[in-house]
Structure 1
C-alpha cells in the first residue's frame, strides 16, 4: 500500500520556482515569491523576472497550484560540466532543462541541447547549473545520461 501523497505547504514571502507547463515553456522554471495561500494547494505568486504584459514596471502575479511550485534548489558548486549531463540553463528570464552536448575548447562555454525545442545553444558556465528534481519533498540529482 502506498503512503498518502504529502503536499508541501509554502508560506507567504517564501522564494520558490514555478514550473510552467504551457506550450513553449515546457521544461522551464521561473523564480517567484509566494504572495498568499488561497486554499487547498492554490497560491498566488509574484515572479522575480517576469512582468505584466501591459505594464512592464509591474511584476507578473499569477495563481498556481502547489504541484507547480518547488523551493529554490540548493546551489551545487561544480568545477565543470560533462557531456550528456542534465543541466538547467538561464535564458529568457528562467531556468530551462537541457543536456550538455559539448564544451568550447579553451573557454568557459558549453552547448546545451533542449529536447522540447530541438535547439542547441551556447551558454557561459555562469548561466548553467546542475539540474535537480524535487521528489517527495527532497532534492534529487539527475544522473548523467548514457551516451
Structure 2
C-alpha cells in the first residue's frame, strides 16, 4: 500500500524491546520505493519536546485502524492492544479484577493490569482489510 504525505499511520516496530508495538505517526514523505519518513504523535526526540521523526520501511506501516466502538468488557484470551509507553502493545486478556483487565504479552512474558479505557481489540491489516481477532471465552 502506498502512503502520501499527511497520511495518518501506525508504525509496527520490529526493533528488539519494541516487537509487537504500534505507534501513531504522520507520513512526512516517501523515500525511494520502500521507505517513508514519519513523525510520531507520542514519541519525542531526546530534548523531550520535539516530535520524533525517523525513516521506516514500508512494511512497518499500516493505515490507522478504524476507531473501534466503545468496549466495556473483554473475554478470556481476547487479543487486545494495550496503550502503554506511548504506543499500543499486542497481548491477550488473562483475567479481570474490578475495572482492570490483565494482559499477557508473549514478547516480554509480562502480565500487566490495565483499565478497560486503555484497551482495544487487536486488528490486523491483511490484504487491504482489517481483521479483528474473535472472542475466545469468558473472564
For normalisation by structure 1, the TM-score amounts to 0.88
The residue that corresponds to 1:30 in the other structure is 23
| Aligned residue number for residue 116 of structure 2 | 125
CA distance in 2, matches of 1:27, 1:146: 23
Partner of 1:48 in structure 2?
A: 41
* Post-superposition CA distance 1:49-104 (Å, at most 9, x none): 10112x21111101011110001111222331001100000000000000000111
Runs of 4+ aligned residues of structure 1 deviating over 4 Å after TM superposition are none
Q: TM-score, normalised by structure 2?
A: 0.93
Give, in whole Å, the separation in 2 of the partners of 1:52 and 1:69: 20
Contact 2:96/2:102 (<8 A) preserved: yes
Aligned match of 2:58: 66
Q: Distance in 1 between matches of 2:5 and 2:99?
A: 38
Shift of 1:11: 1.1
- CA RMSD across the alignment: 1.4
Work out the CA distance in 1 between the residues paired with 2:31 and 2:4.
11
Q: Indicate if the aligned counterparts of 2:102 and 2:113 stay in contact, CA closer than 8 A.
A: yes
**Is the aligned partner of 1:93 residue 2:108?**
no
Is the CA contact 2:104–2:111 (under 8 Å) kept in the aligned structure 1?
yes
- Secondary structure of 2:59's aligned partner: helix
Matches of 1:143 and 1:51, distance apart in 2: 34
**Which stretches in structure 1 are left out of the alignment for 5+ residues?**
1-7
Number of aligned residue pairs: give it: 137
